[in-house]
Structure 1
Amino acid sequence: MNASIDRQRKRCAVIASAFLLASCGDSLDSNTSVPDPITQVMQKSAYKDATWSMQAVDLDSGRVIYDLNSSSQMFIASVRKVFSTGNALNALGAQHQFVTPVYRQGTVAADGTLNGNLILVASGDLTMGGRANADGTIALTSFDHNEANALGNAVLSAPDPLAGYNSLAAQVAAAGIKTINGDVVIDDRLFQPFNFRDEFEVRPIFVNDDVVDVSFNQSAEGAVLPFDYRPKSAAFTVQSTLKTGGAASALDIELAPELPPCIGSANCVGTVSGTVPADFVPPLTDAYPLIRTFRVTQPSNYARTVFIEALTRAGVTVTAAPVAANPAQLLPAQASYASAQQVARLVSAPFVQDVRYVNKVSYNIGADVSLMLFGLAKNGSTTMAASLAAEQSELSSTFGISPSQYHFIDGSGGGDTTANGIAVVAMLRGMRSKPDFAAYVDSMPALGVDGSLTTITNFEADATLAGAKGQVHAKTGTYVGVNASAPTTPILKGQSLAGYIDAKSGRRIVFFLTVNNVPITGIPDILTVFQDQGTIAALLWKLQ
């Protein structure tokens, strides 16, 4: 061993801890250059102007196996979620359940009339029973509706998105309340509303993930496409004139307004118009129905109406107008509710199901709320800025990750979110000592099996790589922007993949992989990059 390596080992021995071993120890003796099969993928002509970064590390020893630009700040997009969901899982625990209670204020007369208000206290429950499978898991699909407009289609989950509200309403009726001679209010004060990508202000109350789904079926040329939408509510209705054009017509679907500002006002309507070519095949699923979504821009107003309608279905009469702004001015002092006033409660699935939902389908709002829930649990933070600060402290003290190694603006990876590979690997490796590590790994999409890695299957054409199917558990991230040198041309600013590989050798490795600034013309080019990264992950499985 030469003197410089010996000195470096001694330095590492002094400063190293479980989360720093990735840059010290045995890696000093080994060649960490990227092997030729992986380099060949990275050197395809599509990437001649792009930049790659990669690090692969042995989970147990921390030995660096391969390293390429791992100290460079790179766009990581939704790979950022490995931090927000990991910290939230550590703070809350996999089995934590959210309880959403309903309280009455005032007295209930002998005839069942509540002379006062009914208040639903939002708990941050992401699904409110609206994606609940019979076995207690949260229902997922291969193509989630939260990305329907961006990706061009989706597959809707099967459960009733109003199931939780129906359950609460039935409990209110069972408590003997027949008439509410007052108002219905959503207490949304758990945390301060935060801006979600300039679309709306997120609050801790949800109905159908804050979207209204519109499903279209095929029609004859010249005819309007049959459609349906969910949830059905007077809070927001949908009309459509979308029709089938000729085979040579262009796909042109317009939602107006996609971000409706009128929720909470009477007659709030969204319209869909345009044409679909006669020979159009919906993307992703290669079959109808075709899905588009409208954003619920006023979650508390929408949830109030939905709850009143559920109460009506349960046989409870509400004298207040069902469609109106949420009357927050009627709320009592926060946390002043008495247990004797509780008339209903909804208990969520264990939190690990939320983490699985967020990571498997890359649910952005869920990741942002996970960060807020972490901040609340850690030190009572109620703003996005305070939660980010709490996370920064946690990353430094628990995982040894310096703020200089990343730039986070939210919990989901929006905008110019960056990190270096060393930081991502340190987070993933640091989770191995946490009680819910197994659940964390399982929450990641599995290569060629589920979540956002479902469609990565090209590697299976190579018999030597086919065994990697289901052995890679990794979070994906996609960031598309505008090419600065050609403002009308899109560019893939970042396509990332990071997680765990149960390698062919039997050992588990942690890896980070990203490519930045790839010129593209559309979604097919992104999918090609996606497949290439899947191939690299499969090669890591094979080579290690």
Structure 2
Amino acid sequence: MKELKKSTTVAPTGQPRSGEMQGRDPGLVHTSVWRVSVESMRIPTRSDVTTRHLLIRPISALALLAAGALALAGCASGAGQDAVAVAVDEAIADSGLDGGGWGVLAVDRETGEIVYELNSTIPFVPGSVQKSFTTSAALEILGAESTITTPVYGTGVISADGVLEGDLVLAGRGDFSFGLRDQPDGTLEITSFDHNEANSGLVAVGLNTGDPLAALRGLAEQLVAAGVTSVAGQVLVDDTYFDPQMDWPDGRIDAIWVNENLVDLVITPGELGAAPEVRMIPGLDGLALVNEVETIEGDVVDVDVEMSGSTVTATGTIGIDAGEVVRNTEVDDPAAFARMAFAQVLTAAGITIDGGGTGMLPSAYDEPIAQWESAPIWQLARVVQKMSYNRGADLLACLIAVEGGSTSCVDGVAAVADYTASVGVPTEGLRLYDPAGSNDYNRTSAVLQVALMRQAAAAQYGELFVDIQPVAGIDGSLSGTGAGTSAEGMIQAKTGSRVVWYPTTGQFFELAQAYSGYMTTDSGRDLVFAILFNSTLVDDVPGVLDVSAKVAEVMFALQREG
């Protein structure tokens, strides 16, 4: 039963105000193998910026470049190309990343002329640039302007005095915002360092400004308007739209989402030796909070949060000088969590729950008595690309699977690969193990990445796809990259990284740092590019950040001289 609604009208989009980042990784202190996206470690920039006019121009149609031609042509001759080659080669040499491998390709966006090429056909670990495969496929397969309808059904009639003679069923359909990020203008909020980064412990995070129960409150209002005063049966959640996916690296993916299936704790230090003040979001009466955190000297935060059933337990220590911090845990049973939250909202709206009946989901439904409409799919894809939102990318693949008639999210990844091939992108060497680029068995090459980005920009949804990429020095995972330089506002690109803790030497192993997207050069030329770097050891977090900056210098060299 399909719940996506499609429209052929493509609405314009604006630029978000502030920088964002994405990660779901546990804190450094508590993991023997620590994985994090470098996107999660950039330096915060000003929260309000004025975006200068982007020179990156949408195009109506492009012939895709053949992989063989790209592999064999190399850099074209001429003074302009020689200057680019010198500048990029120098940036690579100056990086000092001699032990790693580079795959680079930049082509003229309109003509396909190769501007720079290095090892473009060699497969590399892509990190989050792989999300572009998932989001471009989602825009096409699901429909950029499609929306997700989350319905509420009744299993019985509504009597004259407002009693629903049966159960009330909330049916999850894969809307990861579900009110949390929804803005009055129909867009989804993109925040700086939000709760998805809370447990990295690398930067202070804030919470989304929206109400995590907004969609549930809206549904309750509709039920009241429909005359429902009580439910003779139970409140149920139907989470069977697709099979829960629990095998990908970024956590459990379900069809129902409340507060992005996280329980957030806002922790404020107390007196020395005492427990800190802890505020739980969302505040649900059915959740029990066990606070075993102690306030200690200093500003170090070492807090773990776990959820078991309806109990959330926080353990560890927080420095008295740490200030307010956010930590969280993923919900272990999203359907039960949503049921608890919906029942509380219904009660607050004046609808009583009698709790009779069997509590069994029906085999079929009549028309819904309430429904919540999501923002368009392109807005969900925008959150995924701008913030590098791993679980959001995973969810898009699950929706793609449903669109193809499957309830297995893995089939969504296969559909992404099939779609990529069907539009003419050469897929030899492409390996898609998950939708977000979080599995280190994933592989792509610069030639594949450029072919994908070029095809996506030429598609019906091309203007939207270009626009949802992070913008250098302005927003998303590029907000702190290129600010104040000629590259600011001139590069729209997805970032990617994979970093693991290497216990043999006590260092970080940077598997991947990558950039892939679009740029307008200082000379006014529009390029499509991919820069993939793999494999180097660094001693600490600043070293990881330094690698990211060094690879970005290669991107800046292309932008200056291309």
Q: CA deviation at 1:435?
A: 1.3
* Identity rate, percent: 30
* Aligned match of 2:394: 368
Cα shift readout 1:303-340 (whole Å, capped 9, x = no counterpart): 1111111111111011239xxxxx9972222xx3222x
* Aligned match of 1:391: 416
| Distance change in 2, residues 1:455/1:241 (3 Å) | farther
1:60 to 105, 110, 114: 110
Structure 2 residue 455 is matched with structure 1 residue 430: yes
* Aligned match of 1:148: 198
1:23 to 70, 74, 77: 70
* Aligned match of 2:329: 294
Structure 2 residue 362 is matched with structure 1 residue 332: yes
Q: CA deviation at 1:471?
A: 1.3
Structure 2 residue 285 is matched with structure 1 residue 271: no
2:516 to 498, 502, 524: 498
* Aligned match of 2:156: 106
Q: Give distance in 1, aligned partners of 2:297 and 2:516.
A: 44
* Aligned match of 1:543: 561
- After TM superposition, the structure 1 = structure 2 runs for residues 118-197 of structure 1, keeping only pairs within 5 Å, are 118-152=168-202, 153-197=204-248
| Distance change in 2, residues 1:211/1:521 (3 Å) | farther
Q: CA deviation at 1:523?
A: 2.7
| Distance change in 2, residues 1:540/1:453 (3 Å) | same
| Distance change in 2, residues 1:28/1:256 (3 Å) | closer
| Distance change in 2, residues 1:337/1:198 (3 Å) | same
Structure 2 residue 472 is matched with structure 1 residue 453: no
Contact 1:99 1:348 in 2 (8 A): yes
Q: Give distance in 1, aligned partners of 2:481 and 2:467.
A: 18
Cα shift readout 1:251-298 (whole Å, capped 9, x = no counterpart): 3523242xx242xxxxx2222233334555xxxxxxx53221111121
Moved more, 486-495 or 347-356: 486-495
* Structure 2 counterpart of 1:269, one-letter code: T
Contact 1:255 1:270 in 2 (8 A): no
* Aligned match of 1:7: none
Q: CA deviation at 1:511?
A: 1.0
| Distance change in 2, residues 1:255/1:235 (3 Å) | farther
Contact 2:254 2:334 in 1 (8 A): yes
- Report the TM-score, using the length of structure 1 for normalisation: 0.85
Relative contact order: is structure 1 or structure 2 higher (C-alpha 8 Å, sep ≥ 6)? 2
Cα shift readout 1:125-167 (whole Å, capped 9, x = no counterpart): 1211111122221111121321221253422110111100110
Cα shift readout 1:381-432 (whole Å, capped 9, x = no counterpart): 3212322222222111213322x32111111112212111111111001112
| Secondary structure, counterpart of 1:330 in structure 2 | coil
* Structure 2 counterpart of 1:154, one-letter code: V
* Aligned match of 1:202: 253
* Aligned match of 1:517: 535
Q: Give distance in 2, aligned partners of 1:445 and 1:112.
A: 49
Q: Give distance in 1, aligned partners of 2:554 and 2:355.
A: 59
1:347 to 373, 392, 414: 373
* Aligned match of 1:471: 490
* Aligned match of 2:465: 440
Q: What is the Cα-based RMSD across aligned positions, in Å?
A: 2.6
| Distance change in 2, residues 1:70/1:116 (3 Å) | same
Contact 2:147 2:376 in 1 (8 A): yes
* Aligned match of 1:35: 85
Cα shift readout 1:181-239 (whole Å, capped 9, x = no counterpart): 11111122221211154675321110111111112235565554333221111453434
Cα shift readout 1:434-457 (whole Å, capped 9, x = no counterpart): 111111111111111111111224
* Structure 1 counterpart of 2:174, one-letter code: G
Contact 2:191 2:208 in 1 (8 A): yes
Say which structure is richer in helix: 1
- In structure 2, runs of 5+ residues without a counterpart are 1-61
Moved more, 302-311 or 44-53: 44-53
- Report the TM-score, using the length of structure 2 for normalisation: 0.82
Structure 2 residue 289 is matched with structure 1 residue 238: yes
Q: Give distance in 2, aligned partners of 1:252 and 1:212.
A: 18
| Distance change in 2, residues 1:118/1:388 (3 Å) | same
* Structure 2 counterpart of 1:49, one-letter code: G
2:349 to 310, 314, 319: 314
Contact 1:238 1:269 in 2 (8 A): yes
Contact 1:494 1:515 in 2 (8 A): yes
Q: Give distance in 2, aligned partners of 1:513 and 1:232.
A: 44
1:408 to 429, 432, 453: 432
- In structure 1, runs of 5+ residues without a counterpart are 1-15, 263-267, 281-287, 322-326, 461-465
| Distance change in 2, residues 1:216/1:93 (3 Å) | same
| Secondary structure, counterpart of 1:201 in structure 2 | coil
Contact 2:226 2:369 in 1 (8 A): yes
